Structure 1
Amino acid sequence: MSLSNHKLATTANQAYEITKTVREAVAASGVTEGLCVVFVPHTTAGLSISSFWDPKGLEDVHDDINRLVPTRIDFKHQFDTPQDAAGHVKSVLVGVSLTLIIVDGAPLLGHSQGIFFNEFDGPRQRQFFVKCHG
């Protein structure tokens, strides 16, 4: 089993493709058949799998998430800011972990699928973990 920690500097409300980093972590693990878990230990960020072909698609995703969960001042909790409170809800809806199947030493993804770190607050210094096991 292998665990790797990865750092990421984010700006507000953006998606960051981390597919290459996850692929490299899987390759470095030496696991050829098994599972890979990608995990974000933050309450205002999340992970998703989406198409990498058109970056505007990810902008659409974030725009719709913001429409569903707008930043507003009437959240019952206001830990830091209204944006932070909205980020908590968005993180719960999107999720903070992905489980990927490893085949032939690589994560199994569709030909146009990428792995994305979603920042719902920011800017922040973030991290995510990749754990592989066979």
Structure 2
Amino acid sequence: MKIKSELLNIETETGIQIYNLTPKVQDWIERVGLQNGQITLFSRHTTTALAINEYEERLLVDIKAYLNKLAPENDRYLHNDLHLRVVPPDEPMNAHSHLMAMTLSTSEVIPVMDSKLALGTWQSLLFFELDGPRQRTVLVQALGEFE
């Protein structure tokens, strides 16, 4: 068994955005030659998340609405009292983004069989930007049999 790792770079747009990482990850699997094993994906930010679900336009709208109901941007949050803590000059008021990220996940583990992600018919690997626009990275690490 071998291990290969890489950081995937993602340039995100403003607000809440949901990206389908499936093609990018599948391309990486083929590039590194993973035949069988598993990949772990890890989001390296406190206001992003990962999930496996359907990447369907109306569902994405529903997901964004659901997250906004859980943690509305305009609610009162102590984390947003920027004058009470030491922060960089460009620090955003983003407590709602942290709370949304906590309801999701920072990582996913997916089996790989015959150099293909072993996802179900409607499953996609989703990356959630909850505080964009930003430059983001996702660690992808493969464990398994390589060509």
- What is the TM-score with the length of structure 1 in the denominator? 0.90
1:1-134 to 2 correspondences below 5 Å: 1-11=3-13, 12-52=15-55, 54-78=56-80, 80-82=91-93, 84-134=94-144
Overall identity of the aligned pairs, in %? 27
Q: How far apart in 2 are the matches of 1:98 and 1:90?
A: 17
Q: How far apart in 2 are the matches of 1:48 and 1:95?
A: 7
Structure richer in strand, relative to its length: 2
| Residue identity matched to 2:57 | P
Q: How far apart in 2 are the matches of 1:113 and 1:3?
A: 23
- Per-residue CA deviations over 1:20-56 (Å, capped at 9, x if unaligned) read 011111222322221101111011011111112x212
- Per-residue CA deviations over 1:58-98 (Å, capped at 9, x if unaligned) read 1111110111111135212126333x111111111111111
| Residue identity matched to 2:92 | T
Q: How far apart in 2 are the matches of 1:115 and 1:58?
A: 13
| Larger displacement relative to structure 2 (54-63 or 67-76) | 67-76
Q: How far apart in 1 are the matches of 2:28 and 2:49?
A: 19
Q: How far apart in 2 are the matches of 1:73 and 1:111?
A: 38
| Residue identity matched to 1:91 | A
Unaligned ranges ≥5, structure 1: none
| Residue identity matched to 1:71 | E
| Larger displacement relative to structure 2 (21-30 or 69-78) | 69-78
- Per-residue CA deviations over 1:85-127 (Å, capped at 9, x if unaligned) read 1111111111111110111112110112111111111111111
Q: How far apart in 2 are the matches of 1:4 and 1:24?
A: 13
Q: How far apart in 1 are the matches of 2:70 and 2:102?
A: 13
**3-state SS in 2 of match to 1:74:** coil
Total equivalences in the alignment: 132
Unaligned ranges ≥5, structure 2: 83-90
